[in-house]
Structures are given as C-alpha cells and as structure tokens.
Structure 1
Amino acid sequence: MTISPTSILSKKVLAFIQSQTVITLCVCDNNLPYTAMCYYVYLPEENIIVFKSKRETTHMNAALKNSLVAGAVRQDKLLSTNVVGVQLTGMLLTNNNSSLLSVATRKYYMKYPFAVAVSGDIWMIRPDAIKYTENKMGIMGKEEYRLIAE
C-alpha cells in the first residue's frame, strides 16, 4: 500500500524535491552499477518522479531489466557551507497507466518545454523511500521516510 507523500513528507522536503531539476538515476545490470543524470519533475499527489530518456540508453536498458532503482537529488546551486540532498529508492513503472502517463507527460513538458524538441520517452519512478540530508556548517540533519507500508 502506498502512503501519500503529501501526508508524510515534511513541507521542507516536498518543497526541496519539487524545486530542483536533475536526478542522478542509479541502476544495476549484471551486478554492474551505472548512473545517469536526467531532468525530472516530482508529482507528490501521484508519488512519481517523471523523467525523459531514450529507451536504448545503457541506464534504461538496465532499468527495464531490473526495475528497482535508486536516485539522488542535490541542490542545483551548491553552497560550500550548506549541502542539501535527497536519496531515494523506488521502482521504474513499466506497465504505464495511460491516464497517469498523460498527466506525467503534461507536467514534465510544463516544467521543461524545451524537452519537446529532444527525442526520448517519458518514464516514471515510484519512490518507496526518501532520505533527506541537510548539512549546514558541519551540523548534519537527516529525515527518512517510507512511502510504502510494510
């Protein structure tokens, strides 16, 4: 059972995830890790991360073989005295619900209108755990959330 992120994530964490632009996607194929960076949009009501990538890329081939993925988002503008980021685990959604994919596609292109001109497909990840880290001048703060009931 999925738990609504808007009811469990703090407003600070939701605001952070929604305000950033790039996710580092982490996949594994034949025990070999691989990463890729993609523009993304997070839709908390649906609890999905939406990104665009070509099906034939190394990371998408790996994710299509093993839909369990991880990711990391750090702030777009780095400050040496304040490091903020999110680590997450989740699942690539491969049996796309057409209405959910339609909403995801529309929201993605609203945030990144230039991406219409770039080839590729829209993909979705459903996070099941999110860990927020904030390091201000050596003071580390962490918040962890499970988005799937165990």
Structure 2
Amino acid sequence: METLTAVTRWLAKQHVVTWCVHQEGELWCANAFYLFDAQKMTFYVLTDEKTRHAQMSGPRAPIAGTVNGQPKTVALIRGVQFKGEIRRLEGQESDVARKAYNRRFPVARMLPAPVWEIRLDEVKFTDNTLGFGKKMHWLRDL
C-alpha cells in the first residue's frame, strides 16, 4: 500500500490530534478534535484565541504533533508523528472549513472558537500491524 494512502486512511478514522508550539524558549501542547482533509493534508481544529497555545501561535506558527490510537497490545500500535504549521483561518476560508467541521462534530455549532488549519509538511506513520516497528514516511513537495 502506498504511504500516502495508508496515512490518509488511518487519519480519516481518528479524531483527536495533539500539537506542540514553541515560543521564546517555552513549549506547550494542546489536544483537539480534528477534521482531516486528505487532499490538502491538513487538519482543521477549533481553539479559542485566549488559550495558551493559541497565544503562543499567534496567527501562524511552526508546530509538531501526534495522532495515536489507544491499543492494549504493542502489536496493534499505530500512530502518526508530524511536523507542520498552524494558522488561524479568516473570511471565506474559515467559513468553508467551519461548515465542514460542524458536519463532522455537530456540537461544535455552539462553540464560538475560531478555526485553525494544521498543514502537515512531514509525517511518520508507525504501523505495527504490518510488522513490529514498521514505519512509513511522507514529505510535502515544497
């Protein structure tokens, strides 16, 4: 199976992303439900601008993060580590992403938080179901 296909299929089945941001020597991580766009290789998340991680991100920031399941056995471990960029969406771009996010997570209609895009630039997918320590790598063409 092609790496990109394997990664996108798995990410489409998950729903929580963890990302970490760095600013002036300080690190902070956050978790959120995500909507995954396989065509753009991006996550859309909602997070309030007053949160520590949003304040540290500003309108745009480099980040690293993970998406992982919670298997009870090592043989079933699957997970993604990534590097990319987070940015707060504005205008029509935000409206389109928000409508799609609300379809996936209807409870989000009640949350006034802005939409953020996490662009994946590098992905490492570990899939022990294909053999212990099986790793696949993907890089965005720049």
TM category, shorter: 0.7 to 0.9
Aligned counterpart, 1:89 = 83
Taking the aligned partners of 2:60 and 2:92, their CA distance within structure 1 comes to 24
1:25 to 14, 19, 23: 19
Give CA deviations for 1:108-142 in whole Å, capped at 9, x if unaligned. Answer: 11111011123311111111111101124971110
Does 2:114 align with 1:121?
Answer: yes
Q: Which runs of 5+ in 1 are unaligned?
A: 1-7
Q: TM-score, normalised by structure 1?
A: 0.83
- On the 8 A contact 2:59/2:87 being kept in 1, the answer is no
Cα deviation, residue 104, structure 1:
1.3
Q: Root-mean-square deviation (CA), in Å?
A: 2.1
| C-alpha separation in 1, matches of 2:25 and 2:9 | 34
Inter-CA distance 100–148: structure 2 relative to 1 (3 Å threshold): farther
Task: Write the distance in 2 (CA, Å) between the matches of 1:70 and 1:60.
Answer: 14
Unaligned runs of 5+ in 2: none
CA-to-aligned-CA distance 1:72-102 (integer Å, 9 cap, x gap): 0002x423231110011111124x3633322
* Residues 44-79 of structure 1 deviation map (CA, whole Å, 9 limit, x = unaligned): 22332100011010011111176001110002x423
In the TM superposition, structure 1's runs of 4+ consecutive aligned residues that sit over 3 Å from their partners are: 96-99
SS in 2 for 1:17: helix
Output the CA distance in 2 between the equivalents of 1:110 and 1:140. 35
User: Which deviates more from structure 2 when the two are superposed, residues 39-48 or residues 132-141?
Assistant: 132-141
Task: Count the aligned residue pairs.
Answer: 140
Identity value in percent: 22
